[in-house]
Structure 1
Amino acid sequence: MEKIRRDQMKNLLVGLIVFWGVAMNAFAIEEPTFEVVKRYPQFEIRKYQAYLVAEVIVPGPAEKAGNTAFEYLGGYIFGKNKGSKKIEMTAPVSQTPVPIKIAMTAPVSQTATDDGYLVQFAMPREFTMDTLPEPNNPKVKLREMPAKTYAVITYSGTWSQSLYEEKLSLLKKSVGEAGLKMEGEPIFSRYNAPFSLPFLRRNEIWISLIL
């Protein structure tokens, strides 16, 4: 009887964890606007409209860059800005290795480093560059990402570097086999909170296409 009760409690606990994971992932949060141009077995081509980001460059390794960046970007959207305005969280949180070539839009400036990662939070569509509050921390920059077309692979699971590299390799191979040309560094995009269950996560890798 005691074993049955323990099993029932275990199943209830697992059920609650799954429920909250599903509930968290079910709440639709805003993300940049895109159109799916074409779907392939392993990836799809998306045409993104321009969108705004808050970004910061942080040191590696890749698996710690997101946590390090959250100190700055999380602080910014939670009110560490001119006017102490809170900004709704959107998706995805994107991460790109640097140095990279970044197209600047006035009055935003960006300084590349010898190594590290550029981490970005997408900003809500209600804002423009003129209405986004200025960050208190000079390391946090605001920028408009230009409209662009990407090859995108979507997968669930952990945020480990090994899984990322496996999926990146598959994406590059599939894009090449489709006769498409890539440019620039890959963008690792995450759509879920760190405490979400790995099998419920939506992870993506974007690579810009030359059309």
Structure 2
Amino acid sequence: MVESPEYTVELKDGKFEIRRYPGYILAQVDVEASFRDAMVIGFSILANYIFGGNRRKEELPMTSPVTGVNLGSSERIPMKVPVTEEVPDDADSGKYRISFTMPSSYTLETLPEPLDDRIRFREEKDQRFAAYRFSGRVNSDMAAQRIAELKEWLERNSIEPRSNFIIAQYNHPAVPGFLRKNEVLVKID
């Protein structure tokens, strides 16, 4: 079974949730490309790291989700983003931060040093997120639509987003769209 960050659900409303994440470490890389290409390029760089592209040549267990955040968002929100591919209204251009969650058995001190100097690590602790789960093969149009749906839900519930919106994908690329687990996440107070 593939490890994912642990969290507790504080509120559930259909496919929407408010969650608290106690902490995790991200391996991240910034990629300048289209939504689709950024995910492919970033995934490849980070997968190389966990499959032995590090100073110890150590293979790390695969985790999920793979996340992406568009860093070129015209809608600037204070950024304390954890996990991901942030996506602005113009989701088909910009710079994206692609992230893998590191296995919980590692600390910043025990993770092997990457051979690729574009990879950096970020430790996240005690955060609350709004999450919206959906299926399908994510593209920029779908991401924009699901982000709009989460924004609507947040507005209806008087919840302010505190980060850019994050697209999280949990499945191997070979999994058919209708079986895929995806989420839009955004940090909240």
Query: Would you call these one fold, judging by a TM-score over 0.5?
Result: yes
Equivalences, count: 173
Q: Which amino acid aligns with 2:64?
A: A
Name 2:56's counterpart in structure 1.
83
Structure 1 SS opposite 2:163: strand
2:137 matched to 1:158? yes
Q: CA RMSD in A?
A: 1.6
Q: Deviations over 1:52-100 (max 9, x none)?
A: 1111000121111111112210110000101100000000101001158
Are positions 1:46 and 2:24 aligned together? no
Bigger Cα Rg: 1
2:99 is the alignment partner of 1:126: no
Deviation at 1:174, TM superposition (A): 0.6
Matches within 5 A, 1:1-211: 28-99=1-72, 115-210=94-189
- Does the Cα contact within 8 Å between 1:51 and 1:144 map onto a contact in 2? yes
Q: TM-score, normalised by structure 1?
A: 0.78
Q: Which amino acid in structure 1 is aligned with residue 123 of structure 2?
A: E
Inter-partner Cα distance in structure 1 for 2:58 and 2:46: 13
Letter in 2 for 1:98: L
In structure 1, how many angstroms separate the alpha carbons of the residues matched to 2:62 and 2:26? 11
Q: Check whether the contact 2:130–2:188 (CA below 8 A) recurs between aligned residues.
A: yes
Identity across the alignment (%): 29
> Does structure 2 conserve the Cα–Cα contact (< 8 Å) formed by 1:96 and 1:188?
yes
For normalisation by structure 2, the TM-score amounts to: 0.87
How far does residue 163 in structure 1 lie from its aligned partner after superposition? 1.3
CA–CA separation in structure 2 for the residues paired with 1:97 and 1:197? 25
Compare the two structures and name the one with the higher helix fraction. Answer: 1
Specify the code of the residue in structure 2 equivalent to 1:121.
F
- The answer to whether the 8 Å contact 1:42/1:171 transfers is no
Q: For structure 1, which runs of at least 5 residues remain unmatched after alignment? A: 1-27, 104-114
Question: Helix, strand or coil for the counterpart of 1:181?
Answer: coil
* Structure 2 unaligned regions, length at least 5: 81-93
Task: Quote the Cα distance in structure 1 between the aligned partners of 2:15 and 2:57.
Answer: 43
